[in-house]
């Protein structure tokens, strides 16, 4: 019964509610990006400066502006996500696919419908909500991709796929103790269901914005 109620409340959530939730997601993502830059020895200053400018619904598109600054700082000034055949982009694409699937599983387990998004509007996509909820965890994948780049790894292969898939087991600090990224996604999805059911106002994010055992690596600008 809770599943049916969750879908109904999810489908009728107000625009102000969705705008508030999206700004929370963007803020968590940008904080994670800044933390990933810092642990990698890169300069997080330009990304950190954007956090205070995030408003309800992110009308200034800080999410995209921060991502542009962040990726270039981490992987190099010439880096672009539009480059089709690129080892780093292939690492990222695979890692994000793994992360998206985990987000979708957590959404369904929480009794929510993965196509009823908070922000993403890609037409006909059945996993739009997964695209929303995975955002704060993208930097965990980015750190693995950076480590592969630093070690001179070649094209995406079974070994690099294993490392990227293992990100789901990365440890995060939460109010309930240390847990994996997969469990953090589950808690985030459950908190969203609770918001829609009127049981809470804010989403539940880990206390640590990136995995606890993230290892330092030279940022892209030093290559």
The pTM score is 0.93
Q: For 49-105, how does the pLDDT look when each residue is reduced to its tens digit (9 = 90+)?
A: 999 999 999 999 999 999 999 999 999 998 988 766 699 999 999 999 999 999 999
Q: Is position 193 within any domain?
A: yes
When divided into structural domains, the chain yields a total of: 1
Q: Is position 37 within any domain?
A: yes
Radius of gyration of the chain (CA): 17
Q: Under 8 Å CB-to-CB from 126, ≥6 apart: which residues?
A: 114, 115
The domain that holds 136 is classified in CATH as 1.20.120.920
Q: Is position 223 within any domain?
A: no
Strand, helix or coil for residue 193: helix
**Other CB atoms within 10 A of residue 31 CB:** 21
Q: Is position 212 within any domain?
A: yes
Angle at 113 between CA 111 and CA 116, to 5 degrees: 140
Owning domain of residue 11: 2-218
Give the pLDDT confidence score for residue 99 in this predicted structure.
98
**Long-range contacts from 179-183, C-beta under 8 angstroms, 24+ separation:** 179/206, 181/102, 181/137, 181/140, 181/211, 182/102, 182/106
């Amino acid at each position: 019964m809770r599943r049916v109620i969750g879908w109904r409340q999810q489908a009728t959530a107000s625009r102000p509610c969705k705008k508030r939730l999206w700004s929370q997601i963007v803020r968590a993502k940008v904080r994670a990006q800044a933390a990933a830059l810092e642990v990698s020895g890169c300069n997080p200053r330009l990304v950190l400066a954007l956090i205070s400018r995030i408003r309800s619904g992110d009308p200034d598109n800080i999410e995209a502006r921060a991502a542009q600054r962040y990726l270039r700082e981490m992987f190099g000034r010439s880096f672009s996500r539009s480059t089709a055949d690129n080892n780093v982009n292939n690492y990222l694409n695979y890692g994000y696919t793994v992360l998206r699937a985990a987000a979708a599983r957590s959404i369904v387990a929480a009794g929510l419908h993965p196509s009823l998004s908070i922000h993403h509007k890609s037409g006909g996509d059945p996993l739009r909500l997964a695209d929303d909820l995975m955002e704060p965890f993208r930097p965990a994948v980015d750190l693995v991709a950076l480590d592969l780049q630093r070690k001179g790894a070649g094209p995406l292969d079974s070994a690099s796929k294993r490392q990227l898939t293992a990100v789901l087991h990365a440890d995060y600090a939460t109010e309930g103790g240390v847990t994996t990224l997969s469990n953090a996604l589950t808690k985030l999805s459950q908190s969203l269901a609770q918001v829609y059911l009127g049981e809470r106002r804010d989403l539940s994010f880990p206390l640590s914005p990136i995995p606890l055992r993230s290892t330092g690596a030279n940022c892209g600008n030093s290559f």
